[in-house]
Amino acid sequence: MLKQKQEELLKSYYDPTEGIGYTLCRTTIHSCDFSKESYTYVSDEDKELKTFNIDHDKEFRIPMIKKATEAAGGTLPLYVNPWSPPAFMKDTKNMLQGGKLLPEYYDAWALYYTKFIKAYEAEGMPIWGLTIQNEPMATQRWESCIYTAEEERDFLKNHLGPIMEREGLGGKKIIV
């Protein structure tokens, strides 16, 4: 019954003739408030991102996105965003309840986005665009990170934009 309900849901949202026909799918960069637990794609304190991998998403999320893509007729670009950097990159050392990205991790966090995009695209899921932060002014009980408009601007201008360009991802849409 669960599989049948899943197919019904996917068809109602993504099928271009029998459903709404969504043409863009949003997903998160690691965990968010909809995840069953907090997780990232690196081991604790991996400042150089050497342990980066998306294996966690291969059990449920990636198969679901692929099913949504099938329901959409074979093409479904993704729009992605994070709820929080890894805890070690934040002033609170906690992914939950706000906090700010520490300046010494601006480049590592920007590189994290590019590693995510490349890993998902290697799985056959094109990334259309991204945001720097989900709800940048909201301190939540769940994963969150605070940015002012000026901090987002400066992170994009001085870190994320140049690193995405260097990594061959300069054509991605970045929404602030």
Chosen CATH of 22-175 out of 1.10.1240.10, 3.40.50.2000, 3.30.420.40, 3.20.20.80: 3.20.20.80
pLDDT band at 115 (very low <50, low <70, confident <90, very high): very high
- The domain spans of the chain are 22-175
Share of the chain above pLDDT 90, in %: 90
pLDDT tens profile 13-60: 999 999 999 999 999 999 998 898 999 999 988 999 999 999 999 999
Mean pLDDT for all residues in the chain: 95
pLDDT band at 151 (very low <50, low <70, confident <90, very high): very high
Residue identified by tokens 């991802």 is: 169
Lowest mean pLDDT among 30-34, 91-95, 118-122: 30-34
β-pairing verdict for 173-175 and 25-29: unpaired
The crossing angle, in degrees rounded to 10, of helices 2-14 and 61-71 is 50
pLDDT band at 93 (very low <50, low <70, confident <90, very high): very high
pLDDT at 165 over 70: yes
136: left (phi over 0), alpha (psi -120 to 50) or beta: alpha
pTM of the model: 0.94
